[in-house]
Amino acid sequence: MKNNMFGVLRNKAFRSLFTAQLFSDLGNWLDFIAIQVIVAYHWNLGEEAIAAVIIVLGLPWVVIGPFASVFVERMSKKHVMIVTLLLRAVFVLGLFFSPNLYILLLFLLLKSTAGALYDPARQAMIRETVSEEELPRAVTLSQLSLNSMKIIGPALGAAIISVLGVKSPFLFEIAGFVIGTVFLFMLPASESRHAIKHKGKASAGKPAFKKELAEGIRHIFKVPVLRTSVILTAAALFIIFLYDGLFIFIAKSIGFTGESFGLLVSAVGLGSVAGAIFLGNWTRWKSLPVQFMSGSALFSGFLIICIGLGGHRVFTLADWGWMIGAFMLGVLGASQSVPYGYVLQSETPSQLMARVSAAASALQTFSMLVAPAAGALLAKLISVPNVMLLAGTATTLLGACILVAYSARKKTVETKVGAS
């Protein structure tokens, strides 16, 4: 049981935290299909409306999250999570009754803002509930929840819509958030040293606020392994979202129909879940997390290049061959996200966890928001298959450069040690 990643669930506090996360992550994706169906089919709005939905969902993580994380650090993480999860339930109720796009966007903005406050508190709470020995498995389970709910949420939402109607997923989402809150109440009441330090200070003033905000950002760039992990993940996400919106077009060019395209996307999702489960039970990667992430980037780049070549009809595969490739792309994606989560947790003091987590999320979300527009522009200039070739080459070079840099650094350190 010790080497089983689910063994960490014997920790009662983490079990409550993880169960709440399951409901929270499910809620993030349960309404994914419903919102698009309402906007595109019921209101007959176009691509601009869907783009507005995506931007509104990502904006709070970039603009609000890093600043709000300073206040999150000063409060009880348990209370922050309870309040924001209940607020998300209220805002989803607003989505249910939204009569037009503008009201829908308002409640999406509020819901996403609450999520941008919830996540740094959750990240900080992981450190408060598990030991250093349990940390890799706790982080892996957390990533497993994130990855699996990206598959389960939209699929379950679509099934609920087909049976109970387009707005019904919102009601299930509200129920999930309320149930998640019940589990959060089971968490031990604990406050970080940072929260105790600021207790009773209703206003810390601008200088203190700026200093604390800068402290979280500075920590990322002060710790080499954390800095490299954050930048590598942000760059990888930019490259992924550069071609993510074009994936349906490349799938069409390699022979997938509209019906079978869903299977290709599901193969990527299943691969990410399988990868997370594997890394949770085999944790030797934690001694070299950045090198492991870089190696995964290098190999995933090769797969993306192969997809681009397939789009040019340089070679062809049966559908099952492409699906195996998509599955491996998901596995390699988990091989980057799981070690990143571990580095973020292990290299950050608990009193800085919310601020560092929010700053890292802001950088990564910004990459995800900018990339689709860049990808669409490049597709018009150089074609969709060439965008895949460019993305694959960039991913391979990114992984290779970091591997070479770490290898050179290791040799330099060994030389210095030998000389001394």
Segment 55-95, tens digit of pLDDT? 888 888 888 877 777 777 778 889 999 999 999 999 999 99
Separation CA 108–CA 27 (nearest Å): 13
Q: How many CB atoms lie within 10 A of CB 375?
A: 24
Residues 236/297, Cβ–Cβ less than 8 Å: yes
DSSP state of 75: S
Q: Tokens in use for 47?
A: 């691509």
Q: Report pLDDT for 198.
A: 47
Separation CA 186–CA 407 (nearest Å): 46
Q: Report pLDDT for 204.
A: 45
Q: Report pLDDT for 13.
A: 92
Separation CA 54–CA 108 (nearest Å): 10
Q: Report pLDDT for 316.
A: 86
Q: Report pLDDT for 199.
A: 47
Q: Report pLDDT for 200.
A: 46
The dihedral through the CA atoms of 40, 44, 49, 51 has a sign that is positive
Q: Report pLDDT for 346.
A: 85
pTM for the whole thing?
0.75
- Please compute, for residue 310, the number of CA atoms within 13 A of its CA located in the half-sphere on the CB side: 26
Q: Report pLDDT for 154.
A: 78
Q: Tokens in use for 210?
A: 């700026």
Separation CA 303–CA 388 (nearest Å): 10
Task: Walk along the chain (420 residues) in steps of 10 and give the mean pLDDT of each run.
Answer: 72 93 88 83 79 83 78 84 95 95 95 90 86 84 81 80 89 94 86 48 53 82 89 86 75 75 77 84 84 92 93 89 91 87 86 83 81 82 90 93 82 58
Domains, in order of start, for the chain: 1-216 (1.20.1250.20), 224-347+383-420 (no CATH)
For residue 385, give the 3-state DSSP assignment: helix
Q: Report pLDDT for 203.
A: 45
Q: Tokens in use for 307?
A: 């997809």
For residue 149, give the 3-state DSSP assignment: helix
Residue 354 makes CB contacts below 8 A (sequence gap 6+) with 69, 72, 73, 77, 120, 121, 123, 124, 216
Give the closest residue to 76 by CA, choosing from 205, 184, 211: 184
Residues 13-72 have pLDDT tens digits of 999 999 999 999 888 888 877 887 888 788 988 767 877 887 888 888 888 877 777 777
User: CA 267 → CA 9, 176, 272, distances in Å?
Assistant: 28, 26, 9
Residues 8/141, Cβ–Cβ less than 8 Å: yes
